[in-house]
Amino acid sequence: MDLARMLDRCRRDQWRVDDLDWSLPPPRMPRDKEEAVVQYFTDMAGIERLAGALFAAQARKATDPTLRAIFETFVVDEERHAVVAERLARHYDVHRHRRYAMSPALVGFRPHFLRVIELAPPEIANAYITAGELMLDVALLRSLDDYVGDEMSHRAMHLINRDESRHIAIDFHMPEVYASDEFLAARRDRPAPTLAARARGAAALLQMLWHAQPFLRAVFLEPIDRTDPSGRRIREAFKRMQLVARKPTVARLPFTRFMLAMQDLFNHPRLGPLVGGVLLRVLGGDARAAARLFTDEELARAQAMSFEELAAEAVAVKYEPR
């Protein structure tokens, strides 16, 4: 990837919340739909701020100044998205049926996730960042926009999606960096983490995984089940994660090897049904994420593609009709 070109694009494509025309009247909605929409946008604000915190952590750890600057623009993007989501929540809260707050599962997950980002090796942190961005961008935002079916949402999501496409491009670039021979050689030359540091990292990861399943269900899967009952978009997001993880350089990383082994065990015809529930809790995921979603032909095709091509295809998927 040409990072200098990406940074120029990040700076050029900035926009302001007030570029949107907030005077558009909200549509009439049944009570249950209005409550759902307002809650989803309320949680979206929390998700975007969590993403901003993750990008801030990546910026602090980046050794390349251009990459650091790119991540800093992403932090600005995510805060702008959060403010837009809050204003959309107020825009559609026409009847004030109840008070809204972020999902407790999101609130409970956030500190553990941020701790993992600080303590875990960067490839682990990036794996979860990429997964979250794919679920948000490919599945949740498009499905929520279709569900609302309103011009105000369409205009806001158009600008947000433009930003998120840049984020996905970098999300797919980073596994290529972390799995490169150069990065792994440089890490081997650094002093090994102390036993205490490894223990802190492992404890943080276990706590995060314990909270991940209810977070995933409440903030992503249940809203997507309602807004895209076909489930096509979330399957596409999960499939993109699986294909990236099975790129040969990424698949050789210790954490990726562990996650792939767990997924293969989940899909084993005899052992899977016996230990599937336990494995899902260990993975912090859902059966739809653990099930093999790609064909042999799709895997072979992905293996031959560059990371940049995989990112471009993931971005294209979100614009396909439901």
Tens digit of each residue's pLDDT (9 = 90 or more) over 220-263: 999 999 999 998 999 999 999 999 999 999 999 888 898 899 88
| Full residue range of the structural domain in which residue 143 is found | 3-182+192-240+308-318
Q: What is the mean pLDDT of the segment spanning 155-162? A: 95
Q: What is the mean pLDDT of the segment spanning 51-69? A: 92
User: Quick one: what percent of the chain has pLDDT higher than 90?
Assistant: 60
Answer yes or no: is pLDDT of 152 > 80. Answer: yes
Mind giving me the DSSP string for 250-297?
HHTSHHHHHHHHHHHHHT-TTHHHHHHHHHHHHHT--HHHHS----HH
* Per-residue model confidence (pLDDT) at position 118: 84
* Per-residue model confidence (pLDDT) at position 284: 67
Evaluate whether residue 270 is within a structural domain. no
- In this predicted model, what pLDDT tens digit does every residue of 217-232 receive, in sequence order? 999 999 999 999 998 9
Q: Which range among 22-26, 155-159, 162-166, 262-266 shows the weakest confidence by mean pLDDT? A: 262-266
* Number of domains forming the structure of the chain: 1
- In this predicted model, what pLDDT tens digit does every residue of 15-53 receive, in sequence order? 999 999 999 999 999 999 999 999 999 999 999 999 999
Evaluate whether residue 292 is within a structural domain. no
Answer yes or no: is pLDDT of 318 > 80. Answer: no
- CATH (domain of 10): 1.10.620.20
* Per-residue model confidence (pLDDT) at position 120: 79
Pair 213, 286: CB distance under 8 Å: yes
Evaluate whether residue 254 is within a structural domain. no
Evaluate whether residue 67 is within a structural domain. yes
Answer yes or no: is pLDDT of 64 > 80. Answer: yes
- In this predicted model, what pLDDT tens digit does every residue of 76-135 receive, in sequence order? 999 999 999 999 999 999 999 999 999 999 999 999 989 988 887 778 878 888 888 899
- In this predicted model, what pLDDT tens digit does every residue of 192-203 receive, in sequence order? 788 888 888 888
213-235 residues labelled b (16+ CB within 10 A) or e (exposed): bbbbbbbbbebbeebbeeeebbb
* Per-residue model confidence (pLDDT) at position 316: 86
Answer yes or no: is pLDDT of 300 > 90. Answer: yes
Evaluate whether residue 52 is within a structural domain. yes
| Residue 165 pLDDT class (50, 70, 90 cuts) | very high
Evaluate whether residue 248 is within a structural domain. no
Answer yes or no: is pLDDT of 294 > 90. Answer: yes
Number of H helices, E strands in the chain: 17, 0
| Residue 166 pLDDT class (50, 70, 90 cuts) | very high
Evaluate whether residue 271 is within a structural domain. no
pTM of the model: 0.91
Summary mean pLDDT of the chain: 91
* Per-residue model confidence (pLDDT) at position 229: 92
Evaluate whether residue 259 is within a structural domain. no
Pair 294, 284: CB distance under 8 Å: no
Answer yes or no: is pLDDT of 319 > 80. Answer: no
Question: What are residue 3's phi and psi, to 5 degrees?
Answer: -65, -35
| Residue 322 pLDDT class (50, 70, 90 cuts) | low
More confident residue, 294 or 190: 294
Contacts of 80 (CB under 8 A, 6+ apart): 15, 16, 17, 163
* Per-residue model confidence (pLDDT) at position 210: 84
